[in-house]
């Protein structure tokens, strides 16, 4: 279908519009366009396609010539900004458990005694770097409220995560949440650290608010051991901290494992985002797909902590397009979605590069329910997207080569935002 003239797009004046031309346009939701163009007004994309086809319909619009690649802004589906001040917490050895690493992180946090201002300053630096890398939207999971937002206009959805494994702790946290304002967003941490009554309470509250419920899930094999048998490093960790009071193991966990546990609690739906999902099997993947639950993978953090690799091919085969996240600097020395895409390309050779790029853009937008505005270059989406340049892209001979280079060569040499000029 040919694009409509400007006046038919609901635009008051052609002076509100312009056409951007580039050697490559990567819409994500449709095939790559060589010598492509994007027509925008001040707020929205009006048309996307080959320049030779679009230009006759918009002959009087000002033309902006871009030298690189136009593509959607990236979406970071999982980050902990308040941990930025901690720096990277290196595991003691390759044989260290995830619980050992958590203990080391807690010890560093206690010893550091950093001020709120220091936390805010470090978080702000991370936000600015995310923006510079091409991230326009992120989901921040924190233990404290962050107030400063002095950086460039990154859109940040923030959830305060709650931890309470024992019955007494769950009751206390429920009382605390009940005193929050009705629109203050909270979420759980993980099945091993947030008890079932508290998970159900928070999810019910999220449904009332119509907000995202995010949860670390199956990051480590010991989570299933705790829930199913009351064993593993998390059981020992909770026992030492007085958090093991009979809540775990959970009776009746079957072949659906940890995912089935959440399903039985009524946690899973299209506004639940399960993060990591390293140790889930075929049956659990089908439960996630059947409930419309979203998934976010953090391959850089998983590699750093040595917890394993998520079954991406099986997740995709079930019809789930995962989001992509960096996690925090504590478990990932380089917070960069371009690196996350590169790691996925290394670990999953059979996955189409277009799919990996879609994870970093459209997958995140869908998981955060912002796909009508973000995640793709298409009519009606916001006129705010990326122009990236690099010698590797200039050498691409076709769309397949371009996509491969976009996801495997790391952060582009130049990244600029269209719409933030």
For residue 411, give both structure tokens.
């952060």
Q: Indicate if the pLDDT at residue 47 is higher than 80.
A: yes
pLDDT value of residue 22: 98
Neighbours of 241 (CB within 10 A): 12
- Over the chain, what HEC string results? CCCCCHHHHCCCCHHHCEEEEEEEECCCCCCCEEEEEEEECCCEEEEEEEHHHHHHHCCCCCEEECCCEEECCEEEEEECHHHHHHCCCCCCCCCCCHHHHHHHHHHHHHHHCCCHHHHHHHHHHHHHHHHHCCEEEEEEEECCCCCCCCCCCCEEEEEEEECECCHHHHHHHHHHHHCCCCCCCEEECCCCCECHHHHHHHHHHHHHHCCCEEEEECCCCHHHHHHHHCCCHHHHHHHHCCCCCCCCCCCCCCCCHHHHHHHHCCCCCCCEEEEECCCCCHHHHHHHHHCCCEEEECHHHHHHHCCCCCCHHHHHHCCCCCEECCCCCCCCCCCCHHHHHHHHHHHCCCCCHHHHHHHHHHHHHHHCCCCCCCCCCCCCCECCEEEEECHHHHCCCCHHHHHHHHHHCCCCCEEEEECCC
Per the listing, tokens 């690196």 go with 339
For 325-375, the pLDDT digits (tens) are 999 999 999 999 999 999 999 999 999 999 999 999 999 999 999 999 999
Could you give the C-alpha distances from 406 to 17, 220, 271, 362, in angstroms and in order? 28, 30, 30, 15
- Find out whether 130 and 139 touch, Cβ atoms under 8 Å: no
Radius of gyration of the chain (CA): 22
- Find out whether 416 and 382 touch, Cβ atoms under 8 Å: no
For 275-284, the pLDDT digits (tens) are 999 999 999 9
Predicted confidence band at 129 (pLDDT cuts at 50, 70, 90)? very high
Q: How far apart are CA 306 and CA 94, in angstroms?
A: 7
pLDDT value of residue 3: 45
Neighbours of 13 (CB within 10 A): 9
pLDDT value of residue 11: 43
Q: How far apart are CA 167 and CA 315, in angstroms?
A: 34
What is the CA angle 364-369-375, rounded to 5? 45
For 171-190, the pLDDT digits (tens) are 999 999 999 999 999 999 99
* Average pLDDT for 33-52: 97
Predicted confidence band at 381 (pLDDT cuts at 50, 70, 90)? very high
Exposure of 157 by Cβ count < 10 A (0-12 exposed, 13-18 middle, 19+ buried)? middle
> Which positions ≥6 away from 391 have C-beta within 8 Å?
413
pLDDT value of residue 14: 60
pLDDT value of residue 147: 72
pLDDT value of residue 186: 97
Predicted confidence band at 243 (pLDDT cuts at 50, 70, 90)? confident
For 80-101, the pLDDT digits (tens) are 999 999 999 999 988 899 999 9
Predicted confidence band at 268 (pLDDT cuts at 50, 70, 90)? very high
Pairing of strands 213-217, 414-418: unpaired
Looking at per-residue pLDDT, the higher value among 3 and 108 belongs to 108
Neighbours of 213 (CB within 10 A): 25
pLDDT value of residue 255: 57
Per-residue buried b or exposed e for 86-99, using 16+ beta carbons within 10 Å of the residue's own CB: beebebeeeebbbb
Neighbours of 59 (CB within 10 A): 10
Q: Indicate if the pLDDT at residue 12 is higher than 60.
A: no
- Find out whether 81 and 130 touch, Cβ atoms under 8 Å: no
For residue 380, give both structure tokens.
């009606």
pTM of the model: 0.95
Q: What are phi and psi of 323, to 5 degrees?
A: -85, 175
User: For the chain, which domains are there?
Assistant: 6-72+376-418 (2.30.40.10), 74-367 (3.20.20.140)
Predicted confidence band at 242 (pLDDT cuts at 50, 70, 90)? confident
- Over 3-22, what HEC string results? CCCHHHHCCCCHHHCEEEEE
Q: Indicate if the pLDDT at residue 290 is higher than 80.
A: yes
- Find out whether 284 and 256 touch, Cβ atoms under 8 Å: yes
What is the CA angle 95-97-103, rounded to 5? 125
Predicted confidence band at 201 (pLDDT cuts at 50, 70, 90)? very high
Q: How far apart are CA 164 and CA 197, in angstroms?
A: 10
């Amino acid at each position: 279908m040919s694009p409509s003239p400007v006046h038919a797009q609901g635009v008051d004046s052609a002076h509100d519009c312009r056409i951007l031309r580039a050697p490559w346009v990567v819409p994500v939701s449709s095939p790559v366009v060589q010598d492509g163009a994007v027509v925008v007004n001040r707020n929205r994309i009006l048309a996307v396609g080959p320049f030779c086809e679009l230009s006759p319909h918009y002959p009087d619009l000002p033309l902006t010539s871009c030298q690189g690649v136009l593509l959607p802004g990236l979406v970071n589906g999982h980050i902990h900004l308040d941990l930025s001040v901690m720096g990277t917490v290196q595991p003691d050895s390759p044989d260290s458990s995830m619980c050992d690493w958590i203990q080391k992180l807690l010890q560093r946090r206690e010893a550091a005694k950093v001020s709120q201002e220091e936390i805010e300053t470090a978080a702000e630096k991370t936000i600015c770097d995310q923006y510079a890398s091409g991230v326009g939207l992120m989901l921040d999971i924190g233990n404290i409220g962050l107030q400063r937002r002095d950086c460039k206009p990154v859109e940040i959805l923030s959830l305060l995560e709650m931890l309470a494994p024992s019955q007494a702790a769950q009751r206390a946290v429920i009382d605390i949440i009940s005193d929050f304002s009705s629109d203050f967003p909270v979420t759980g941490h993980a099945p091993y650290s947030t008890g079932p009554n508290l998970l159900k309470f928070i999810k019910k509250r999220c449904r009332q608010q119509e907000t995202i419920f995010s949860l670390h899930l199956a990051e480590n094999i010991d989570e299933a051991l705790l829930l199913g048998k009351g064993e593993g490093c998390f059981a020992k960790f909770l026992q030492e901290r007085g958090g093991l009071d009979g809540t775990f193991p959970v009776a009746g966990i079957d072949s659906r494992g940890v995912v089935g546990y959440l399903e039985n609690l009524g946690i899973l739906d299209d506004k639940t985002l399960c993060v990591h999902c390293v140790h889930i099997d075929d049956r659990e993947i089908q439960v996630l797909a059947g409930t419309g639950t979203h998934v976010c993978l953090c391959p850089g953090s998983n590699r750093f902590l040595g917890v394993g690799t998520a079954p991406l091919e099986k997740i995709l085969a079930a019809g789930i397009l995962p989001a992509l996240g960096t996690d925090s600097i504590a478990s990932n020395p380089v917070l960069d979605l371009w690196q996350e895409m590169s790691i996925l390309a290394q670990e999953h050779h059979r996955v189409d590069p277009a799919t990996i790029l879609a994870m970093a853009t459209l997958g995140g937008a869908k998981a955060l329910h912002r796909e009508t505005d973000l995640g793709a270059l298409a009519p009606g989406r916001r006129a705010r997207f990326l122009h990236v340049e690099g010698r590797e892209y200039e050498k691409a001979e076709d769309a397949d080569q371009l996509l491969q280079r976009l996801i495997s060569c790391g952060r582009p040499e130049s990244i600029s935002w269209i719409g933030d000029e």
